[in-house]
């Protein structure tokens, strides 16, 4: 039996699984089209907080992958929802449009400039971060603001087989400067996965990702199966040593259409 026939919902990570920046990964669009044709539920779940769901969906469609914005679940959305539930009123944000929009839509007031105090410092991927903004964030945390990270990915796959600094690298700078550990909302924590399954529907999900520490570990914590693809940051050698291990280790997404026991 093919892997695709064993599950009714597929939760796909993006970077390193479907594409690397503007480069589509071979076979991804065709595999997803076949899963849709078979009636499987799909969700696109990402720790990348930089882009709103509509922009993520547009990027996927430009790569030939059918995707509706309602199928996209980001760590920014989960962060906004969680902070709103906890009554956080104001935040100083190191992050891009996706995070800022999600927080504003959740009712969290974004404070720019150099405020004396805020309820939380919220950090996501920010490719325009400056030392000055890191300094302000650190000072606010030292004055009592909560330090919250949309995700803690140290890096993300980039064209040419290299990795670039992710949100976790920015979080680490503030943690090092202040001695305060961030509260992390995104993968491997459960809220993002549960939100994604709600969008996809189904009761037998398979998490498909390229990271052991987020995708595989998060699925294992929920008792779900995970397929690790080797098109992103994890090597075959690292996958073989993993604890917990992935349910499947695949060269790329085309492995979902194969019988692993054949």
**Catalytic option among 5, 8, 15, 210:** 15
Active site residue 213: no
Which among 8, 13, 68, 112 is annotated as catalytic? 13
CB 187 within 8 A of CB 214: yes
Which residue shows structure tokens 């799909």? 42
Angle between helices 97-105 and 75-85 (to 10 degrees): 30
Q: Look up 5 and say whether it is catalytic.
A: no
Q: Longest C-alpha distance within the chain, in Å?
A: 63
Question: Counting beta carbons within 10 angstroms of the beta carbon of residue 243, is it exposed (0 to 12), middle (13 to 18) or buried (19 or more)?
Answer: exposed
Q: What are phi and psi of 33, to 5 degrees?
A: -65, -40
Q: Would strands 205-209 and 109-110 be described as parallel, antiparallel, or unpaired? A: unpaired
Residues with catalytic function: 13, 15
């Amino acid at each position: 039996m093919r892997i695709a026939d064993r599950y009714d919902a597929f939760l796909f990570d993006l970077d390193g699984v479907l594409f690397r920046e503007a480069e589509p990964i071979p076979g991804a669009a065709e595999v997803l089209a076949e899963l849709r044709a078979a009636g499987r539920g799909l969700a696109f779940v990402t720790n990348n907080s930089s882009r709103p769901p509509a922009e993520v969906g547009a990027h996927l469609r430009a790569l030939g992958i059918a995707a509706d914005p309602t199928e996209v679940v980001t760590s920014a959305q989960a962060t906004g929802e969680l902070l709103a539930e906890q009554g956080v009123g104001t935040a100083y944000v190191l992050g891009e449009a996706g995070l800022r929009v999600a927080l504003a839509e959740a009712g969290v007031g974004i404070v720019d400039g150099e405020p004396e105090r805020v309820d939380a410092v919220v950090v996501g991927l920010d490719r325009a971060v400056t030392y000055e903004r890191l300094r302000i964030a650190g000072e606010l945390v030292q004055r009592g603001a909560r330090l919250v990270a949309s995700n803690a990915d140290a890096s993300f796959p980039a064209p040419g087989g290299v990795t670039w600094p992710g949100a976790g690298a920015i979080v680490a700078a503030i943690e090092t400067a202040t001695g305060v550990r961030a509260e992390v909302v995104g993968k491997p924590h459960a809220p993002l996965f549960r939100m994604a399954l709600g969008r996809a529907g189904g009761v037998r999900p398979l998490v498909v990702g390229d990271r052991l520490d987020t995708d595989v570990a998060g699925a294992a914590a929920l008792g779900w199966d995970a397929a690790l693809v080797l098109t992103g940051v994890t090597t075959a050698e690292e996958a073989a040593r993993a604890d917990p291990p992935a349910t499947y280790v695949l060269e790329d997404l085309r492995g979902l259409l194969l019988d692993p026991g054949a």
